[in-house]
Amino acid sequence: MTQSFGVIGLAVMGENLALNVERNGFPVAVYNRSREKTDAFMEHRAGGKNVKAAYTIKEFVASLERPRKILIMVKAGAPVDAVIEQLKPLLDEGDIMIDGGNSLFTDTARRAHDLEAAKFTFIGMGVSGGEEGALNGPSLMPGGTQSAYEYLEPILTKIAAQVEDGACVTYIGPGGAGHYVKMVHNGIEYGDMELIAEAYDLLKNVAGLDHNELHDVFAEWNTTPELDSYLIEITADIFKKIDGDTGMPLVELILDAAGQKGTGRWTVTDALEQGVPIPTIIAAVNARIMSSYKTERMDASQQLSAPSVPFMGDKKEFINRVRDALYCSKICSYAQGMALLSKASKTYGFGLDLSECARIWKGGCIIKARFLGKIQTAFIENPDLPNLLLAPEFKQTILDRQSAWREIVAYAAKSGIAVPAFSASLDYFDSYRRDRLPLNLTQAQRDYFGAHTYLRTDKDGVFHTEWTDLNEESATKFTAP
Ligand code: NBP
């Protein structure tokens, strides 16, 4: 008996994906570098299931039906290359290698290029939804060799999360497209998480909500079409968890220094390379970096203070304004992420369908949310939409709610509560909507100190001025357009 699908790497993600594939009717072969993990898996979670263990790569490859479909689920980076090198001599033309880890998209592009040149087929697939998603239905973002996707589609559409308009998987595009979209998904996830953290800070430290109230507010928000989402849902749950030892809400005992594995930073780096502004996501990455300066912040808190502004307002009204500020900021954050995908699609030739990207994020992944349906619709109605802020629905929402948003950001500034992602989002909105920014002065400065030249609003051509020469006639030089 040959197996339909192979999984290499039996840490949490590989195990869960293998079980998901098997549960959906496809016999699975598994292999892990260290034998103990394979033995433990076979003895416990895979016991009695149609899973075949292999103890050498050769035995693993031989156990698979052709074309072989092999999911590599090992630590991103050099281990992926090591596994590919072990597989290459054993595979036949048309066999498919899939890297399902969080690989850097440029690594995936390189692997796809090299493997396709050597007549192999390769898929770089973003997998979102953590271990739970991997087991019960993740959001899958496969890119790479398009002909290979056709062989994988019957399996991937079964194991992915299901939403009302299909499975949360689609062919994303060539080369590193799948891992690029996953990377931006993670950048957006950073933005969402920071915005929620800032809402929590305001509700707790300005309006004085306790954990039961915080739970109720987030649970209520989770019933609304704009905020109903996995991250709001788990936030409501988190406020209910009480520490058994101290009787305190567990979240208050957790050290306020957030970790990161790199995908947020990669998103920021590529956005800077591409010249796409993503200030909310940058603020979210910076917030995690700042949080890691715990000892220094503890010391600074003894020396630096802000004015204390007692909360005099109506609690219910304040909560509603924080909700509006959160939603407007979230729209801006997604506008940035989608604009980055749009630019990357052109730069790297991915041919992305942005409505499909929004659709496959509606289930299975960490950013899954009802709101993504509105983004999907916006890009179906206008695939060339330059920015989500210009989609009729989002435009109207922000126009209706911006006064609450502005009040919250101003209130936070007056109270000394940092809201870097709320305010970066508002700055994004206010920069994007203005026909004239003060960067004319920046251009003048650049020309003054570096002769970088400038364009004018009233005449064609390129100009340079000797700014200290007061003779107007000779001071400005014009170059033909
Ligand atoms: P890890 O990222 O912890 O990797 C552990 C696996 O890699 C083990 O099977 C290990 O084998 C194998 N491995 C290593 Br390390 N070096 C190897 C090498 N040189 N050759 C062969 N195998 C090697 O596993 P994970 O948390 O399951 O994640 C797998 C991938 O999925 C990663 O890229 C991760 O970023 C991504 N991802 C994770 C999540 C999540 O929620 N955890 C979500 C989405 C994506 P060993 O047992 O012999 O050491």
Q: Is 82 in the pocket of ligand 1 (CB under 6 A)?
A: yes
- ipTM given for this complex: 0.98
CA distance 326 to 422: 7
> What per-residue confidence (pLDDT) applies to 112?
96
Q: Is the Cβ atom of 102 under 6 angstroms away from ligand 1?
A: yes
CATH number, domain with residue 129: 3.40.50.720
In a domain, 217, yes or no: no
**Residue 463 and residue 352 share a domain:** no
Residue 311 has a pLDDT of 87
341, amino acid identity: L
Rounded to the nearest 5 degrees, what angle is found at the Cα of 147, between the Cα atoms of 146 and 153?
85
Beta bridge partner(s), residue 477: 464
Pair (83, 119) in one structural domain:
yes
Residues 6 or more apart whose CB falls under 8 angstroms from that of 452 comprise 443, 446
Judge if 100 and 130 occupy the same domain: yes
373 lines ligand 1 (CB under 6 A): no
Q: What is the CATH number of the domain that holds 465?
A: 1.20.5.320
| Same domain membership, residue 344 and residue 200 | yes
Asked whether the predicted pLDDT for residue 253 surpasses 80, the reply is: yes
| Nearest protein Cα to ligand 1, atom 13 | 74
Note whether 398 and 466 are same-domain residues.
no
Domain for residue 225, yes or no?
A: no
Task: Say if 9 falls within a structural domain.
Answer: yes
Structural domain containing residue 392:
182-208+245-432
What residues contact 316, with CB distance under 8 A and at least 6 apart? Answer: none
Distance 219 CA to ligand 1 centre (A): 34
Same domain, residue pair 83 and 136: yes
- What is the domain count for the chain? 3
Q: Buried b vs exposed e over 87-108: b needs ≥16 C-beta within 10 Å?
A: beeebeeebbbbbbbbbbbebb
Q: Are residues 133 and 76 in the same domain?
A: yes
Alpha carbon nearest to ligand 1 atom 12, residue = 74
The predicted-structure confidence for 368-426, as pLDDT tens digits, reads as follows: 999 999 999 999 999 999 999 999 999 999 999 999 999 999 999 999 999 999 999 99
Most informative mutation of 10, 60, 75 for ligand 1 (most atoms within 8 A of CB)? 75
453 and 414 in one domain?
A: no
Mean pLDDT of the chain: 96
The verdict on residue 49 lying in a domain is yes
102 and 203 part of one domain: no
Query: Both 156 and 188 in a single domain?
Result: no
Residue that terminates a domain, selected from 175, 198, 222: 175
> Does one domain contain both 392 and 449?
no
Q: Is 73 in the pocket of ligand 1 (CB under 6 A)?
A: yes
Using one digit for the tens of pLDDT, what is the confidence trace for 300-321?
999 999 988 888 889 999 999 9
How many other CB atoms are there within 10 angstroms of residue 276's CB atom? 17
Q: Give yes or no: residues 377 and 467 share one domain.
A: no
Domain membership flag for residue 472: yes
Please report which confidence band the pLDDT of residue 1 belongs to, taking 50, 70 and 90 as the band edges.
Answer: low
- Summarised one tens digit per residue, pLDDT across range 34-79 is 999 999 999 999 999 999 999 999 999 999 999 999 999 999 999 9
Could you tell me if residue 317 is inside a domain?
yes
